[in-house]
């Protein structure tokens, strides 16, 4: 019974608060908006790349279907 660690007592939402507190302590409150902006830009670039990759795959499949 005494062998249980802290992670067993913390549910899902509490982990979010713990992570937020850790980020604030590591980077400081002034850096968080800059980090969020950078994350948003990276997510946007990822989505554009994903859409472009799906389009290229569709074009390739269409090309393959026409050549058969």
- Rounded to whole angstroms, the Cα distance separating 55 from 58 reads 5
Residue 35 lies in a domain: yes
Question: Structural domain of residue 36, as residue ranges?
Answer: 30-68
Residue 17 lies in a domain: no
Number of domains making up the chain? 1
Q: What is the DSSP letter of 62?
A: H
| pLDDT of res. 68 | 66
Nearest in space to 36 (alpha carbons), one of 47, 55, 49, 23: 23
Residue 44 lies in a domain: yes
| pLDDT of res. 6 | 59
pLDDT band at 1 (very low <50, low <70, confident <90, very high): very low
Angle at which helix 32-67 crosses helix 12-27, to 10 degrees, equals 120
Name the region of 28 (left: φ>0; alpha: ψ -120 to 50; beta: rest).
left
pLDDT band at 4 (very low <50, low <70, confident <90, very high): low
Residue 7 lies in a domain: no
Across the range 38-67, mean pLDDT stands at: 92
| pLDDT of res. 37 | 93
| pLDDT of res. 35 | 84
């Amino acid at each position: 019974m005494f062998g249980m660690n802290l992670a067993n007592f913390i549910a899902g939402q509490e982990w979010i608060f713990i992570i937020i507190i850790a980020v604030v302590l590591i980077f400081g409150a002034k850096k968080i908006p800059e980090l969020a902006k950078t994350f948003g830009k990276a997510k946007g670039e990822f989505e554009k790349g994903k859409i472009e990759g799906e389009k290229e795959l569709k074009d390739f499949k269409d090309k393959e279907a026409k050549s058969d």
